Amino acid sequence: MEKDNRNNRELTGERPIIKDDEIDLIALAHVIWDRRKTVFYTVGVVLIIGFFIAIFSPVKYSASTTILPQSEEKSDLGGLSGLASMAGINLNSMMGNSTGIQPDLYPKVIQSYPFLNDLVHQAYDFEDEPKPISIHDKFLKDTIPGLGYYLVKYTIRLPWTIKEALLGEKQMAWEGNGDASSKIKRMSEEEKELFEKMMDRISIEVDQETGLATISAEMEEPLLTAQVAQKTMELLQKYIIEYKTSQARNNLEFIQARYEEKKNEFEKIRAAFFDYRNRNRNVVEERTDMRYQELSDAYNIASQVYQNLAEQLEQAEIAVKEDTPAFSVIEPVKVPIEKSAPKRSLIVIVSLFFGGFLGVCLIFGQMMVRKFKEAW
């Protein structure tokens, strides 16, 4: 029986690959070489697919900028903080000494709904548009439903179409019990798809040792790519500044409102005091003296309160400026010249190796199937 199997293997050209629990590499090479046509066929098919992918994949360009945010930590840790930062540990953040958005959270910020919503509603210059238009409007313009959409809508989805027509369109927000900030946003399908695309096209990398943040964008047009990277940097700075100065700005707004109130009161009291003094300049009576003293006291008190609020207002404005972080642009955004994708040569090389690997797998798969049939 064993002799018959050996003869069958010799006739079919199949050589024993495993001998004494060891792989015979020479036999393995012989088996692959004997069935090289299978490898050639798979390599050719995969290469053709790779060529199609390389040729018809959309061209993309990449642009980036590098910024150095101002250090936001305030602590007395001295050199210990620097040594910890070299090891990737932020002691100030762990001890609660930081009052701003940490660089580690920058990727979360640029992928948040408010940030993406602001980014896609900015006006950009497109090559095929006569005037600037937002990415949101451009996306809706390029995704106008075709005939297939309406066929599905009024055939397969007819019950849901009737339901939506009877109940009306979905609202974009549910009103909360509180103010406008308590509204719960509901994204449309178009917004969801657009935001997911933008999440893949913008990114930020933060170097823990140097603190440098590199913002990158990848789009289909060179000028558009540079604009998106620039606007992403500007919006990120805006969000960080607003968060960092929120407490100081709230204090400034409160003092500003009180200042305006007391200013109006002071001007009315001052006008009444000077008017009364001018009308009773040469009158000497006890009644007029009492009224004059009342107006004088009210004027002095209002003047003192007004001056105190003016000083507090000036200090609050200084506090906002002190808390506003500064950003240094290390590497500005440049309009890309060379495309970043698709990498056609890499796609061809990967297709070549994958085709060879798939061919070898097919050879061993055929051998396993044949052995399974013989054993069965």
Burial of 273 (0-12, 13-18, 19+ CB in 10 A): buried
Answer yes or no: do 302 and 353 share one domain. no
Rounded Cα–Cα distance for residues 135 and 201 (Å): 13
Amino acid at 36: R
Q: Six-digit token pair at 115?
A: 């940030």
Answer yes or no: do 256 and 228 share one domain. no
Strand partners, 328: 68
Q: Six-digit token pair at 175?
A: 């009103």
Answer yes or no: do 82 and 148 share one domain. yes
Contact 176, 182 (CB under 8 A): yes
Answer yes or no: do 239 and 367 share one domain. no
Rounded Cα–Cα distance for residues 314 and 353 (Å): 70
Answer yes or no: do 176 and 265 share one domain. no
pLDDT of amino acid 125? 92
pLDDT of amino acid 144? 59
pLDDT of amino acid 13? 46
**Low-confidence stretches of the chain (pLDDT beneath 50):** 1-13, 73-80, 83-88, 90-98, 169-178, 180-181
pLDDT tens-place string over residues 51-78: 888 787 788 899 999 998 876 544 444 4
Answer yes or no: do 100 and 199 share one domain. yes
Overall domain count for the chain: 3
Answer yes or no: do 145 and 293 share one domain. no
DSSP 127: T
pLDDT of amino acid 20? 55
**Which structural domain range is residue 196 located in?**
60-245+327-338
pLDDT of amino acid 62? 92
Burial of 102 (0-12, 13-18, 19+ CB in 10 A): middle
pLDDT of amino acid 132? 92
Answer yes or no: do 308 and 276 share one domain. yes
Answer yes or no: do 179 and 76 share one domain. yes
Answer yes or no: do 241 and 253 share one domain. no
Answer yes or no: do 125 and 193 share one domain. yes
pLDDT of amino acid 210? 84
Q: What does pTM read for this prediction?
A: 0.60
Answer yes or no: do 37 and 64 share one domain. no
User: In 3-state terms, what secondary structure has residue 172?
Assistant: coil
